[in-house]
């Protein structure tokens, strides 16, 4: 098994390859090369070759990959057969968007439930996921042994929610609140700032204009 450590960029492209490999019509080729995939997707040959090499060792020169085998390897890497569970706290607009986002399945990720303090939100279902009252959080974490918590509450509440998650056994936090979280050693925190990506794009655009 190749290293599990791939870049974010590679991770982002893997479902595209998988999707393409599966859409090969009624008489699919037995073997397929990285170059052929790159051409079909209008992508850089070197990028595709490196991406596939990082998750599979079965490619052969001049032959390429066994298509069915590569599909299996991609699915295995992306965790299709072994979904990871997560819970989410804060069922506002962003929280609900994440609860109903169907892209997580592509990566073998499953949000079990959302939690909120708002009585109007509690007991609703969003994207087929229940929104539960905060009082049930600890119990659900204990029963399901879920290890990933997603924070989509306003910044002022984020640290308190983070503390509760850690107390409930959460080991990894995906933080959408724009505040710095203090956590004990051993707890993973990944900060997500939706604005940063848009800011990057806007910066790239400015650079391009300023060099012309």
Binding site residue list for NAD(+): 90-95
- Which of 39, 38, 40 is CA-nearest to residue 53? 38
Distance in Å, CB of 159 to a second copy, minimum: 12
Please list, in sequence order, all residues whose beta carbon lies within 8 angstroms of the beta carbon of residue 90, skipping any fewer than 6 positions away.
114, 115, 116, 151, 152, 153, 154, 157, 161, 176
Across-strand partners of 81? Answer: none
> In the set 47, 49, 104, 136, which binds a second copy (CB under 8 A)?
104
**H helix intervals, 80-188:** 93-99, 137-144, 155-167
Helix, strand or coil for residue 111? strand
Task: Tell me the three-class secondary structure of 31-44, residue by residue.
Answer: EECHHHHHHHHCCC
Q: Is 118 in the site for a second copy (CB under 8 A)?
A: no
Contact status: 41 vs a second copy (CB under 8 A): yes
Tell me which of 46, 53, 63, 97 binds a second copy, using CB under 8 A: 97
Q: Which 168-207 residues touch a second copy, going by CB under 8 A?
A: 171-172, 174, 178, 180, 182, 188, 190-207
Task: Using CB under 8 A, pick the residue from 71, 86, 121, 122 that binds a second copy.
Answer: 86
Report the residue from 1, 42, 145, 185 that binds a second copy according to the rule CB under 8 A: 42
Determine the length of the chain: 212
Question: Using CB under 8 A as the criterion, which residues of the chain lie in contact with a second copy when the complex forms?
Answer: 4-6, 8, 11-12, 15-16, 41-43, 78-79, 84, 86, 93-94, 96-98, 100-101, 103-104, 106-109, 147-148, 150, 171-172, 174, 178, 180, 182, 188, 190-208
């Amino acid at each position: 098994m190749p290293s599990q450590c791939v870049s974010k960029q590679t991770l982002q492209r893997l479902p595209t390859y998988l999707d393409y490999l599966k859409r090969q019509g009624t008489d699919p080729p037995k073997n397929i090369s990285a170059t052929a995939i790159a051409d079909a997707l209008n992508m850089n040959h070197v990028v595709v070759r490196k991406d596939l090499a990082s998750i599979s060792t079965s490619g052969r020169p001049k032959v390429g990959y066994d298509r069915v085998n590569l599909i299996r390897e991609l699915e295995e890497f992306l965790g299709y057969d072994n979904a990871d569970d997560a819970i989410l706290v804060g069922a506002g607009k962003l929280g609900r968007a994440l609860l109903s986002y169907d892209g997580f399945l592509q990566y073998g990720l499953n949000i079990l439930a959302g939690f909120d303090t708002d009585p109007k939100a509690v007991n609703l279902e969003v994207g087929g996921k229940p929104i539960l009252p905060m009082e049930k959080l600890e119990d659900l974490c204990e029963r399901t042994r879920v290890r990933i918590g997603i924070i989509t509450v306003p910044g002022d509440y984020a640290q308190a929610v983070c503390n509760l998650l850690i107390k409930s056994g959460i080991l990894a936090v995906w933080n959408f609140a724009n505040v710095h979280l203090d956590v004990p050693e051993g707890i993973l925190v990944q900060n997500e700032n939706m604005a940063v990506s848009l800011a990057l794009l806007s910066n790239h655009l400015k650079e391009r204009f300023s060099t012309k």
